[in-house]
Amino acid sequence: MTTVTSYAPPRGPRLLAGWADTARVADLSAHVGRYGPLPPVDRALIGMVDAAGLRGRGGAWFPTGRKLAAVAAGGRRPIVVANGADGEPASDKDHALLTVAPHLVLDGMVLAATALGAADAILCVHRGDPLAPAVHAAMRQRTGDPVAIRLVELPARYVASEESALVNFLNTGEARPTDTPPRPFERGVRGRPTLVDNVETLANIALIARYGPDWFRAAGTVAAPGTMLATVGGAVTAPGVRELPLGTTVSVALGASGGVSEPVGAVLVGGFGGNWLAMSDAAELPLTPEDLAAVGGSLGVGMLLALPARVCGVAETTRIVRYLAGESAMQCGPCMFGLSSIARDLEMLMFGGRPDVLDRLRHRLGVVRGRGACAHPDGAVRLAASALTVFAADVHTHAMGRPCAGIRVASGIRVPVGGIGLGWR
């Protein structure tokens, strides 16, 4: 199949090119005017995506071509599920993309479904998302899509947009993760092979189908080609979502957000279940999945939060772990009891604890890791463990019973209260 060449591929921003040029939301005609019409595709698209090296932007960075191939090999007619929920409270990229370029996402859904032979595609957002009417409007502008697209609203819970939770919600109405195997690509919605992909991943598929794998690889790195949508927040002058080539360093990413607004001690990368990194270690770190993994971290959903140096890292970690504990689906013992115990230990450290609390915390982190049905407890453990390393000196004085003054300084990072009042349906 040939790629569309009569519309020039974007240079610089790709997904946010329309927004960068016009500062306006792209309706269908603006979208087609910029990127061209939906290209005809068939199964060969899977090979193109594979050659392009696209990796999932939902947090796992799994090679999308391989996932597509696995779903295609499923035997039964597959189904496409697009995750646009922005499950991470501090991440806004799915919103940004669905707001300014919804048709790229919808194109991607249709193209993936066509290549897989799927008859329907479902786009998931959180219930009550103010974005929903605009997405509906974008869907209504489109006629002649060969695939039926549906918008589904999930309960606004942290784990509701986890892959198996999404599938569980679509099957049973309960947005809680399930035990795997089988994974959704083998047996998901209504027992069919299900492609669960982030909206950013699908939008990139819409561009690869038009401009080809070589163009896609012109940005980013060899192992992680393309661009990423990074949500930069915390102590920066101009927080928000920025499209950056993969491999951009943390300091350049912070610079693109107006630079730091005050001295920064550490950054949180990936998500609330990600890692703290000391600013000195992080500044020149390229933002790629492999570089983050090499320092024990995870690129996650491309979230970057700058923690002011005058804020206590232990206190901030306590707030976040409290939230994560409250957002447990309450299905697995190590998660339901482990996370709240870990949160309590951190609280005791935050207000000045004894050294045995620190030992107990370390022990519990080792015990809880890897023993839930999903990766939720692992994220909380990873965050807490990274805090013990990055804020080690501070942790030590706290454990000696001398909490720092920084526990009362607000970080400007919005950590919601977890688990109150909301259900799973």
Contact residues toward other proteins (CB under 8 A) are 178-179, 325, 330-344, 367, 371-373
Least distance CB 349 / other proteins (angstroms): 14
Distance CA(92)–CA(240), nearest Å, equals 8
Pairing of strands 303-308, 264-269: antiparallel
Least distance CB 251 / other proteins (angstroms): 38
CB of 42 or CB of 179, closer to other proteins: 179
CB of 43 or CB of 369, closer to other proteins: 369
Burial (CB < 10 A; 0-12, 13-18, 19+), residue 408, is: exposed
Distance CA(419)–CA(180), nearest Å, equals 24
Residue 339 · residue 377 · CB < 8 Å:
yes
Least distance CB 423 / other proteins (angstroms): 9
Least distance CB 161 / other proteins (angstroms): 18
| The two structure tokens encoding residue 89 | 């409270």
CB of 373 or CB of 388, closer to other proteins: 373
- Residues in Cβ contact with 352 at an 8 Å cutoff, skipping those fewer than 6 apart: 398, 401, 402, 403
CB of 81 or CB of 332, closer to other proteins: 332
Least distance CB 187 / other proteins (angstroms): 16
Least distance CB 127 / other proteins (angstroms): 19
Give first-to-last CA distance, the chain, whole Å.
Answer: 43
Q: Which long-range contacts (CB under 8 A, 24 or more apart) does 400-405 make?
A: 400/355, 401/352, 401/353, 401/354, 402/352, 403/312, 403/314, 403/350, 403/351, 403/352, 404/312, 405/312
DSSP alpha helix (H) spans, 173-303: 199-216, 250-256, 279-282, 289-294
Distance CA(365)–CA(387), nearest Å, equals 12
CB of 206 or CB of 350, closer to other proteins: 350
CB of 112 or CB of 349, closer to other proteins: 349
Least distance CB 400 / other proteins (angstroms): 22
CB of 12 or CB of 333, closer to other proteins: 333
Q: Cα–Cα–Cα angle for 160, 301, 299, nearest 5°?
A: 130
Residue 177 · residue 196 · CB < 8 Å:
no
